[in-house]
Amino acid sequence: MTGRLSGKVAVITGAASGIGRGTVDLFVKEGAKVVAADIQDDKGARMAEEHGKSLRYIRCDVTKEGDIKAAIDLAQKAFGRVDCLFNNAGTPGPLENAETVTAESFDAVMHLHVRAAMLGIKHVTPIMRAQGGGSIISTASIAGLQNGFGPLLYSVAKAAIVHMTKLSAAQLGPMNIRVNCICPGLIATPIFAKGIGLATQVADQTVAAVSVAGKDAQPIPRTGLPRDIAEAALYLASDGSGFVNGHALAVDGGITVGPTGTAQAQVFMPFVQAMGIDPALLQQMVPAAPQS
């Protein structure tokens, strides 16, 4: 099925790489006109050349309210409307804990994730209200749903996006503006390498290694890809999700379900040993892993 976004216009932040780039490509393929907003101008120029009249690139630092408004205004000026805003820009932020966190780091992470998404909602709402509705999507994370999947500040910010999604959905729903968020799991993008300080070009080269390393981290035996998140965004942007509002959609291969197979068996091993039970009996209960 193609053309699911035919006639629609989308603004996507963080559009030049990873999840953003995957979503741009899929949205254009499905018939959308897209304003791609990012600070990676070289990649943005290549996107614009590749997609031609279907895409406009704009430099957009989402920590600046004026840049966010300019991206949304460009979509309306160039294509006449804004049917979807995808608040996607973000980074993992510093690897600080509750004892070492700094005010500067807190402000930087909250501005990049929470403040940017909130201001995106603010500036797109009048346009969507005037045209009779629209879909707002934000990238949250499974780190915002439970402990153990991201740095402290990143996780707090993503949890705030989940709650902001619900509050905004309640307020904007009567205007036929739907607000949802996507909670990615382990997705093979440069974000992990950037999180530890690697330069963009170096980080881009780590994606293949991340894809291989993460294949056994969740019940689905592969690492997630940007296309997996793009497909979720496509659904939430399309008319097919017209009755979905205020939802945090986990796209994680089941990693939040909990450990499975051998990993699950290891959780119970100390109890088995304490009771004097032969660990081999527990292993017999674990399904054999499929041979690849």
Active site residues: 154
Rounded to 10 degrees, the C-alpha dihedral 64/66/70/71 comes to 20
- Give the containing element (helix H, strand E) for 264: helix 261-274
- Distance, in Å, from the CA atom of 268 to the CA atom of 259, rounded to the nearest integer, reads 11
- Distance, in Å, from the CA atom of 193 to the CA atom of 77, rounded to the nearest integer, reads 37
Amino acid identity for residue 232 in this structure: A
Amino acid identity for residue 282 in this structure: L
Report CA torsion sign: 224, 182, 231, 82: negative
Query: What residues contact 145, with CB distance under 8 A and at least 6 apart?
Result: 159, 162, 183, 248, 250, 256
Is the separation of the CB atoms in 125 and 71 below 8 Å?
Answer: no
- Distance, in Å, from the CA atom of 160 to the CA atom of 49, rounded to the nearest integer, reads 36
- Distance, in Å, from the CA atom of 88 to the CA atom of 62, rounded to the nearest integer, reads 10
**What residues does 33 pair with on adjacent strands?**
9
Is the separation of the CB atoms in 9 and 81 below 8 Å?
Answer: yes
**What residues does 134 pair with on adjacent strands?**
177
Report CA torsion sign: 221, 225, 231, 232: positive
